[in-house]
Amino acid sequence: MTLLTTWPESGPGTVLRRTTDPAEIDAVLAPAGVRYEQWPLREGPEEPDPEAVLRAYGDAVDGLVAAEGFATVDVVGLRPRKDLGWRLTAKAERKKFLMEHTHDDDDEVRFFVAGAGAFYLHIDREVHAVLCEAGDLLGVPRGTRHWFDMGASPSFTVIRFFHEEDGWVGNFTGSDIALKFPDFDALMATRGTSVLGVGQ
């Protein structure tokens, strides 16, 4: 279930909005050009294989590619494992995406096949945390300040859509705003509560 939490950009002391209602989430994000959809989940392998994932969602993927003119589609994911190499890689990836950035030439469009992750959108002096889970598609328009958190123990599989063949290219703003707001793990831990404060 998607969770949207909105705070003023000054910090998370005041929760302006907290909802799991898909219609309300869409109504809040759409004016900023953010694409939010929920796709029906499909049967797939327990250990995600990119080709199998793309086969399972072929019609939905093809429809979005045709409508939006995406040049590249791929599948990426991380799963908790005990080997040290994975932990180091996941930690480095998390740190990179946690820094506020924009994209000049592409939207950031992700469909969550499994697991969860949180996009933070810095729009019009507010920060919207969108906790996405399996079945959620989120499209962050180019030029939008944002960051992404996969948590301390990432577990997700996403289909990524790119207009540019270069893939993910971020322009970091240099702001430390991401450090002020509850992280992915705090969002997950407080989904059943009505108040969400600083979680870091």
* Domain boundary assignment for the chain: 3-7+14-189
Query: Which residues are annotated as part of the binding site for Ni(2+)?
Result: 101, 103, 108, 146
Amino acid at 48: P
Task: State pLDDT tens for residues 48-100.
Answer: 688 999 999 999 999 999 999 999 999 988 876 554 443 445 666 778 788 99
Fold of 3-7+14-189: Jelly Rolls (2.60.120)
Q: What is the pTM of this model?
A: 0.89
Q: Which residue has the higher pLDDT, 129 or 170?
A: 129
pLDDT of residue 196: 46
Are 137 and 158 contacting, i.e. CB atoms less than 8 angstroms apart?
Answer: no
Structure tokens at 172: 């970091």
Annotated binding-site ranges for Fe(2+): 101, 103, 108, 146
pLDDT band, very low/low/confident/very high, at 25 (cuts 50, 70, 90): very high
Contacts of 198 (CB under 8 A, 6+ apart): 11, 12, 13, 180, 181, 182, 186
pLDDT of residue 91: 65
Question: What local confidence, expressed as pLDDT, does residue 88 receive?
Answer: 42
CA distances from 100 to 43, 69, 91, 175 (A): 35, 27, 17, 6
Known binding residues are 101, 103, 108, 146
CA distance 49 to 75: 8
Distance (Å, whole) CA 111 – CA 61 = 9
In sequence order, the β-bridge partners of residue 38 are 136
